[in-house]
Amino acid sequence: MILNGDNRLKILVRLLLLMFAVVLSGCTFNHVSELRPSLDNSTVKEKLPFVVGVYYSPQFRDYEQARLKMVHRWIVPVGNASVTLFDKAIPLLFDDVVPVEGIPTPAKRNDKVAAVIEPSIEEFDFELPLALGDYTADITYRITLRNSDGTGFASWTVEGHGRQGVGLGYLTHATPIGQVTDAAMQEAMRKFVDGFREVPEVRAWLRQSGLLRTE
């Protein structure tokens, strides 16, 4: 088929009309970022001689954030990846880690564990550039430590940031968004692991348990 000038114009007009119709119809294209955070170079040398429970709430596991730009929705399922990362991080701190299905209560104590760790996502945000700016991601985890009857005795946050400029070779924003999110999660997790024993409330707990000398 030979395309002359008229035909080309007709095709172009139809394509433009089609794009316009897609925009008007409210169609959105979902793009899910694949997250692969890792944990390396921890400075922790000695584990604490405790059995601790870890509780991931459904809200934490299912946490995801989406950002709509024109007809594209960029989705970052950060909860699921955070569970994987905490599953790697917490065993670096304690002798034994067991998953628990709920937070203990005074009526339903859990005396098999010295404490229950409950991570949550306090804040997560990401942004993508419109032209030549940076991809950014920021995450803040809240870590809560509870005793056998569920009473919280320590609660603090760790945050991480990821930033990356526009690069060539990305077919979609989903890849760099995933990479900056990985970087943010990794930074936060390093702070959690390396700074765990420096948290004043944790130090008080270790002191009470006889693992730290009174200053």
Partner 1 sequence: MRKTLVLLIGALLAVAACSAYRPGPLPPVALETMMASKAEKGLTVAADPYAQVERQQSVFDANFKELNVLPVRVVVENTGDDRLLVRYSDMRLELGGGDQLSPAGTTAVATRIENTSQQFWSTFCFGLPGAFATSSSYDKSRSERQADYQAKQFHDITLSKDESANGFVYFILRKESAYPSSAILIVNYVERDTGAGGAIRISLDLMK
Q: Which residues of this protein are in contact with partner 1, per CB under 8 A?
A: 122-123, 125-127, 129-134, 136, 138, 140, 142, 154, 156-157, 159, 200-205, 207, 215
Cα–Cα distance measured from residue 77 to residue 175, given in angstroms and rounded to the nearest whole number: 13
Select 133 or 167, whichever has its Cβ closest to partner 1. Answer: 133
Contact 24, 175 (CB under 8 A): no
Which is nearer to partner 1, 6 or 215 (by Cβ)? Answer: 215
Instruction: Please tell me the number of Cα atoms within 13 Å of 173 on its side-chain side.
Output: 24
How far apart are CB 101 and partner 1 at their closest, in Å?
27
Give the residue with the Cβ less far from partner 1, 22 or 98.
22
Closest CB 1 distance from partner 1, rounded Å: 29
Helix (H, G, I), strand (E, B) or coil at 206: helix
Q: In angstroms, what is the minimal distance from the CB of 194 to partner 1? A: 15
* In the block, residue with structure tokens 């929705």: 73
Smallest gap from Cβ 23 to partner 1, in A, equals 12
Give the whole-angstrom CA distance, residue 4 versus residue 141.
60
Q: What is the DSSP letter of 123?
A: E
Query: What is the nearest approach in angstroms of partner 1 to the Cβ of residue 78?
Result: 14
How does DSSP assign 83-97, residue by residue?
A: HHHHHHHGGGTEEEE
Element (H, E) at 68: strand 65-69
**Toward partner 1, which CB reaches closer, 96 or 125?**
125
| Tokens at 7, concatenated | 């035909």
Choose among 148, 204, 214, 160: nearest CA to 185: 160
Closer residue to partner 1, CB minimum distance, 50 or 91: 50
The SS3 of residue 191 is helix
Instruction: Specify the residue, 86 or 126, whose C-beta has the smaller distance to partner 1.
Output: 126
Q: What is the nearest approach in angstroms of partner 1 to the Cβ of residue 90?
A: 20
